[in-house]
Structure 1
Amino acid sequence: MVAGVHHRYAEVHGRRLFYREAGHPDAPAVVLLHGYPTSSFMFRDLIPRLADCYRVIAPDHLGFGLSDAPSVDEFDYTFDALTDLTEELLDQLGVDRYAIYVQDYGAPIGWRLTLRHPDAITAIVTQNGNGYDQGFIEDFWAPVWAYQREQTPETEAAVRTALGVDAIRWQYVTGVPDESLVSPDTWSHDAALIGRPGNDLVQLKLFRDYATNPPLYRALHEQLRSNRIPVLAVWGHNDPIFGPDGARAFGKDAPDAEIHLLDGGHFLLETAVEEVAELMRDFLGRVLTR
């Protein structure tokens, strides 16, 4: 039987956050944290494949998906602030121990949760979610780094290209074994929501704030070593944004890390959701019973 997925809203610090939830409320919790430029929509096919065994929660970050998207004048968009909202949402839902699945922007939010509450994190599944300096593909990141160093009309124009539908489509189809397996609904959905009035400034703010994430990596590595948090790195091998070295690097500090490089791109679930779900069920089935 396919588990039903509930589509809900919560009021968090005066903001309305959308989240998807499935599974029994007393089952072990798994929190799915999405990346740019998408939302919990990216987990629409994964959630039912986990929910017979786990309580699965997938929020839309503020400014993304169906959550509120206040202007940059109304809300200071930082990864710290997005983590604050996620933390409060989980508190409202009574979730105090949970595994995390992180992808892209979800990774720095997940790492902050791990550093704030290391005893709460039961396991980490990282799917093209960097936690090391290794793995950044320079061709993609060089314009972002330049914009972080100096905001000029030239550096802003270079990163603004990432906001358009063509660039979003590129994220979905680059590196996949067969482009026809990726539904156009994905990039059309994301582009429509990213394109809401004023949301361009939200995304530019987060591009700048991404510079705060790599300095956290050393503390994350210490937590992986000291708490021996189980890690599954399941990675689209052909990702043009976070390369496979980002997956392999987890083996340095989590010696029991299980690392799988699959034939796919940045949004691996679009073409390999069955493989990812099978790996997750096997991994979580073992490590959450220790």
Structure 2
Amino acid sequence: MVSLQQWQSQGSFTQINGHQIFTKVAGDVTKPALLLIHGFPSASWDWEGMWQALSEHYFVITLDMLGFGLSDKPKNAGYKITEQADLYTQFLKTLNINDIHILAHDYGDTVAQELLARQVHNQSAITINSVCFLNGGLFPEVHKPLFIQKLLLSKFGWLVPKLMNKQKFANNLVTIFSKRTPPSKQVVDTLWELLIHKNGLAVMPKLISYIKQRQQNRERWVGAIINSNIPLTFIAGAEDPISGKHMIEHYKKLIPNARVQEFVELGHYPQVENPDAITQAYLDFRNCQ
């Protein structure tokens, strides 16, 4: 497992829309571009177990979104999903890339849905050729937030950063990983370090607004999946209490000719719990197009 220090040393900071954003690329720029979009409340380090293998096949691009990981975490930001999507489009612009595939997880699924919606509505300067979603709240009506997420959303959300500590964070992680693939000490330590970097706990009550944004923009973001004419797939750990088996079943129900790969033994972070299996599943999806 790559340490956070190694991960950071292989990336750089890019000024995007007035903020210092941690960015990272790897692989051959002449190969297809693959954009990796991380989840909440973690960062691009989530992809470390897949990074090397994916960079052999693609020009891989990622960043830590505003409010996450090693990037800036301003207290006065709005933290809109549309603004996070803008970060990716701006970064792609600096790389002179306008043709991509997307692999997203959790909160990143919603950002991918916004990017896809822009393409569906002819509002995008980027051409998206395929999207792979990992566990995430694609459909707000069946998303099951954790108690701590509900608390963050409530009028008492400001209390959470004051009450949160590493042990409580670890306990929450354990509940969303599969019992067979619990988070290692290194995973807990690294995700906690990324969370508290630049006083990240303080912006969590603002970041959690994505759950409300999903409800407000349901028609646009769910419509993006239903109305898209590019290859899509949902690769998911079924043992995820937030967006596992129930999300998989709903995806199959709503999406015509749904392509789904279910991992019964994995939880909410499939790419961390078994990166090799998820890498292979992703490559299989791409190879059958």
User: Normalising by the residue count of structure 2, what TM-score does the alignment of the two structures yield?
Assistant: 0.84
Measure the CA separation in 2 of the matches of 1:58 and 1:185.
21
Please state if 1:72 is matched with 2:79: no
Measure the CA separation in 1 of the matches of 2:186 and 2:30.
34
Quickly say closer, same or farther: Cα 1:25–1:171, change in 2 above 3 A: farther
Quickly say closer, same or farther: Cα 1:217–1:124, change in 2 above 3 A: farther
Contact 2:37 / 2:104 at 8 angstroms: preserved in 1? yes
Equivalent residue pairs, number: 274
Quickly say closer, same or farther: Cα 1:55–1:196, change in 2 above 3 A: closer
Aligned to 1:56: 60
Measure the CA separation in 2 of the matches of 1:247 and 1:58.
26
Aligned to 2:49: 45
Compute the displacement of 1:15 (Å).
1.4
Aligned to 1:23: 27
- The more displaced of 235-244 and 34-43 is 235-244
Aligned to 1:215: 216
- The more displaced of 85-94 and 273-282 is 85-94
Compute the displacement of 1:13 (Å).
1.5
Quickly say closer, same or farther: Cα 1:98–1:164, change in 2 above 3 A: farther
- The more displaced of 41-50 and 95-104 is 95-104
Matches within 5 A, 1:45-124: 45-69=49-73, 71-73=74-76, 75-118=77-120, 120-124=127-131
Secondary structure of 1:266's counterpart equals coil
Compute the displacement of 1:176 (Å).
2.0
Measure the CA separation in 2 of the matches of 1:50 and 1:208.
31
Measure the CA separation in 1 of the matches of 2:91 and 2:276.
29
Contact 1:233 / 1:260 at 8 angstroms: preserved in 2? yes
Secondary structure of 1:234's counterpart equals strand
Aligned to 2:235: 234
Gaps of 5+ in 2: 1-6
Q: Deviation digits for residues 34-87 of structure 1, max 9, x if unmatched? A: 111211111001111112211111211122112222x313x3322222222222
Gaps of 5+ in 1: none
Measure the CA separation in 1 of the matches of 2:190 and 2:38.
14
CA RMSD of aligned residues (A): 2.5
Identity score, percent = 22
Secondary structure of 1:20's counterpart equals strand
Compute the displacement of 1:147 (Å).
5.4
Secondary structure of 1:85's counterpart equals helix
Compute the displacement of 1:283 (Å).
0.7
Contact 1:17 / 1:60 at 8 angstroms: preserved in 2? yes
Q: Deviation digits for residues 220-245 of structure 1, max 9, x if unmatched? A: 33333333232221111111222322
Compute the displacement of 1:19 (Å).
2.0
Quickly say closer, same or farther: Cα 1:80–1:163, change in 2 above 3 A: farther
Letter in 2 for 1:169: A
Secondary structure of 1:46's counterpart equals helix
Q: Deviation digits for residues 228-264 of structure 1, max 9, x if unmatched? A: 2322211111112223221232334432332122111
Compute the displacement of 1:91 (Å).
1.6
Compute the displacement of 1:206 (Å).
1.3
Measure the CA separation in 2 of the matches of 1:60 and 1:79.
14
Secondary structure of 1:128's counterpart equals coil
Secondary structure of 2:132's counterpart equals strand
Measure the CA separation in 1 of the matches of 2:57 and 2:192.
33
Letter in 2 for 1:130: G
Letter in 1 for 2:98: D
Measure the CA separation in 2 of the matches of 1:116 and 1:163.
37
Quickly say closer, same or farther: Cα 1:223–1:80, change in 2 above 3 A: closer
Contact 1:33 / 1:101 at 8 angstroms: preserved in 2? yes
Secondary structure of 2:274's counterpart equals helix
Contact 1:29 / 1:54 at 8 angstroms: preserved in 2? yes
Contact 1:172 / 1:266 at 8 angstroms: preserved in 2? no
The equivalent position to 2:280 in structure 1, one of 278, 281, 290, is: 278
Measure the CA separation in 2 of the matches of 1:162 and 1:56.
37
- The more displaced of 88-97 and 37-46 is 88-97
Secondary structure of 1:37's counterpart equals coil
User: Normalising by the residue count of structure 1, what TM-score does the alignment of the two structures yield?
Assistant: 0.84
Measure the CA separation in 1 of the matches of 2:141 and 2:260.
15
Contact 2:181 / 2:273 at 8 angstroms: preserved in 1? no
